[in-house]
């Protein structure tokens, strides 16, 4: 995807500001919260894709003709690993405790959490 200005990932750094904006963003604890949450969302999405369309895994694009370092078999520098080699978090030695939720059921999960006092959204005050 080619667009002028910051890509969606970079916009979070700009919106948060402070240490998140410059090249020193890893010095900000929010950096790790942001990147870990993105990783969790990616893992949940992959899990849903394998569950619903197992014959099409690993569900990654581009396979080819993308920007250097973004194609599934491109080496990611300076780590010397390909995208394909790091797609499955289980092979990297970690996992998330909760199975991926079904997005269509999110409103039911939130409603249940509100009803049982486990969640208080700002709009419910």
Give pLDDT tens digits for 60-77.
Answer: 778 888 888 888 899 988
Where are the domains positioned within the chain? 60-94
Phi then psi for residue 75, to 5 deg, are -75, 135
**In this predicted structure, what is the pLDDT of residue 98?**
66
Beta bridge partners of 82: 75
- Within 1-125, strands assigned E span 75-76, 81-82
pLDDT in tens, 33-46: 888 888 888 888 88
Task: Give this prediction's pTM.
Answer: 0.59
């Amino acid at each position: 995807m080619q667009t002028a200005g910051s890509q969606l990932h970079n916009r979070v750094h700009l919106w948060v500001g402070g240490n998140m904006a410059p090249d020193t963003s890893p010095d900000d604890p929010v950096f790790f919260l942001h990147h870990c949450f993105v990783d969790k969302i990616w893992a949940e999405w992959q899990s849903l894709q394998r569950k619903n369309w197992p014959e099409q895994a690993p569900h990654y694009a581009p396979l080819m003709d993308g920007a250097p370092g973004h194609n599934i078999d491109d080496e990611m520098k300076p780590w010397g690993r390909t995208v394909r080699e790091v797609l499955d978090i289980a092979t990297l030695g970690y996992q998330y405790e909760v199975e991926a939720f079904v997005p269509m059921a999110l409103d039911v999960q939130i409603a249940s959490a509100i009803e049982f006092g486990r969640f208080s959204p700002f709009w419910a005050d």
